[in-house]
Structure 1
Amino acid sequence: MDSLLQFFENPMVIKVAKLIMWILFIIIIIGLVRKTLKKRIDNISIRYKAQKGVEIIGYVLIIFLILMAITIDSLKDYTIIIGLFTAGITFTLQELILSIAGSFYIFFVRVYKPGDRIEINNIKGDVIDIDSIYTTIMEMGEWVSSDNYSGRIVKISNAFVFKGPIKNYSMDFPFVWDELNILITYGSDTELAKTILMNSATELLSDYTEKSKAKWEEMVEHYYIENATIEPTIAMSLTDNWIQLNVRYITDYKRRRNTKHTLFQHIEKAILKTNGKVNLASTTLQLLQIPPIDINLKK
């Protein structure tokens, strides 16, 4: 019993206990402040940033308390202990340290933010949360075609920002180029077909074209990049079976699938109104019936 009392009366034990109590107190305060912000702030984006700011401030306070609690009289001993401690932490928790460093890199360099559509580590989706260790993504693709959600939520370590490329569909330039191939038969009026495609693309995508021009001018001023053609363009190629007309256009990164669907519907209706001057092509196979044959066998 006496040895137990002596243990709890040890100044080092008292100091560690106080440190743990302060850390728990800060964690409780962080939780309470997050709940208060959730109730008081209606805007999702502002509420999310405020909650993350409170978390970061709390982590900084905890790290500061730990550093203040370390008191070593000898500078030599301090250097040795810190060196051994750093080496051990680096070896055993290198992935965790890299993830935490990645979270600071993401926030301060703005590699991506919640709401961005990214592709990282061969996983594509919308960022729905970023914490100190993981980035949470609503996955797209896999067994679902085009840019549709698969329904799975994927957590990716923040360390991946240092390990490979990050494809961001919405940062700085929230538009993407897409293509639509229209196949017409030989003998169709190609000039009329190209006019239909160009008019349809220009009419339906004029809003995207105007908005993307302003964004692209900002890109040219900010980055070392050449100017690009924002307006819809058409390229024609000949194949063994049909004439292929390729329409290249710009659209919002979140509406790529819907834009292609609407554009194709508009073009199809316009082609049907040409009364056969332009015909859509497809791979067909015609089976001919063999006429009856009389066979006489003679011995």
Structure 2
Amino acid sequence: MPAWLAPILQSYGADLLRSAVLVLVLLLVHASIVRTIAANPQVPVDTRRRWAINVRNAMIIIGLAGFVIIWARELQTIALSMVAFAAALVVATKELLMCLGGGLVRSITNSYELGDIIEIGGMRGRVQDITMLGTTLIEIGPRHDSHQLTGKAVTFPNSLLLTQSVVRENFTGDFVMHIVNVPLPYSVRPARAERLLQEIAADVCAPWLDDARRHMAMLEHKLLMDTPSVEPRIALQPTSEKEYRLIVRIALPPRERQRAEQAILRRFLFACFPEDSQHPQADTD
């Protein structure tokens, strides 16, 4: 045994042994729980991933608490003799502490969870992973009005939660409100265009309209909040002397946004501008 190792083992051997046992036990418990969660096919994948992340974070917190308890005497001695160093350390680890504070704020306010679609600081995507220091998003874009996954992962520090507002797009859960903007020239008569868009939106949303109505009624009763009507609504907005805008609001499951939007736009635009006509069909009213 090296000469320098003997005094370390003599002074801190018991604490080192307790620390090693703690790490081993936590690793075994974590592996066992994660294996049990993964082996349950009846639970949705997102739910199992959320459980696994919560277990991992809980093991880390327990491990840190255990180390503090095991090394309390040594930490106390160091703290009493290094007050100035501790103050400097706080300044040096300001960003780290802000990340931990942001994670605490997220947990207390429940601003978002795994699988939510959020936007913060110009970043927008589906929450893929949450740790005590940062959050990973699977980017949705490339523009704000797009709802397709780009395949890119974006990680931001939780310190942003202390200075930036978080937009949670699927706050209402299984059904969300979605806006589709359709700019049109005045050659397409607004009255007919509005009726046509209303019919198409109602037809596309018909498969889930009853479920959406029941879901919003449940939220209104459970959360005591005013919920919007799930019926497709059309708003007319002049934008210039050459064109106007139809704005349709629909209720739908979050994963159906891209498909439903494209279905509505394709059917509406193909009806207004048929390939075999030189003029918009809506102008023949």
Comparing 137-146 with 78-87, greater Cα deviation is found at: 78-87
Distance 1:135-1:226 versus aligned 2 partners, 3 A rule:
same
* Structure 2 residue 14 is matched with structure 1 residue 10: no
Distance 2:195 2:67 in 1: 71
- Cα deviation for residue 117 of structure 1 reads 0.9
| Aligned pairs for 1:47-86 within 5 A | 47-70=48-71, 72=73, 80=80
Unaligned runs of 5+ in 1: 281-299
8 A contact 2:53–2:129 mirrored in 1 = no
One-letter code aligned to 1:18: L
> Relative to total residues, which structure has the larger helix share, 1 or 2?
2
Does residue 278 (structure 1) correspond to residue 282 (structure 2)? The answer is yes
Counterpart CA distance in 2 for 1:142 and 1:276 is 30
Residues 153/171 of structure 1: CA separation in 2 closer, same or farther (3 Å cut): same
Aligned 8 A contact 2:194 2:246 in 1: no
In 2 relative to 1, CA 237–154 (structure 1 residues): closer, same or farther, beyond 3 Å? Answer: closer
Q: Distance in 1 between matches of 2:150 and 2:191?
A: 41
Structure-1 residue corresponding to 2:138: 138
Deviation, 1:221, is 5.4
- RMSD (CA atoms): 4.0
Task: Tell me the equivalent position of 1:246.
Answer: 246
Label 1:102 to 1:34 Cα distance change in 2 as closer, same or farther (>3 A). Answer: farther
Residue identity opposite 1:66 in structure 2: F
- The CA deviation string for residues 197-218 of structure 1, in whole angstroms up to 9 with x for no partner, is 2222222224455444444445
Residues 143-198 of structure 1 deviation map (CA, whole Å, 9 limit, x = unaligned): 79722222211122222222211111112354133133252544x66543432222
Cα pair 1:125 1:138 within 8 Å, conserved: yes
- Which segments of 5 or more consecutive residues in structure 2 lack a partner in the other structure? none
Q: Tell me the equivalent position of 1:289.
A: none
Q: Matched residue pairs, number?
A: 275
Q: 1:38 to 1:90 in 2, by over 3 A?
A: same
2-structure distance, mates of 1:180, 1:145: 9
Tell me, yes or no, if the aligned pair for 2:201 and 2:250 is still in contact at 8 Å. no
Aligned to 1:10, what secondary structure does the other structure show?
helix
Per-residue deviation, 1:121: 2.2
Please give the secondary structure, in 1, of the residue aligned with 2:67. Answer: helix
Q: CA 1:40–1:245 in 2, change beyond 3 Å: closer, same or farther?
A: closer
Asked whether the 8 Å contact 2:103–2:132 carries over to 1, the reply is yes
Q: How does 1:1-299 map to 2 (within 5 A)?
A: 4=4, 7-8=7-8, 10-11=10-11, 13-30=12-29, 32-33=31-32, 36-37=35-36, 40-42=39-41, 43=43, 44-70=45-71, 72=73, 80=80, 87-107=87-107, 109-142=109-142, 146-173=146-173, 174-181=175-182, 183-186=184-187, 190-207=190-207, 209-217=209-217, 220=220, 228-231=228-231, 232-235=233-236, 237=238, 239-242=240-243, 244=244, 246-252=246-252, 253-271=254-272, 278-279=282-283
Deviation, 1:138, is 0.8
**Percent identity over paired residues:** 13
Note closer, same or farther for the CA distance 1:249–1:8 as it changes in structure 2 (3 Å cut): closer
Residue 278 and residue 51 in structure 1: after superposition, are their counterparts in 2 closer, same or farther (change >3 A)? closer
Q: Which has more radius of gyration?
A: 1
**TM-score, normalization by structure 1:** 0.71
Q: Deviations over 1:94-137 (max 9, x none)?
A: 32233334334434543212211111221111111112322111
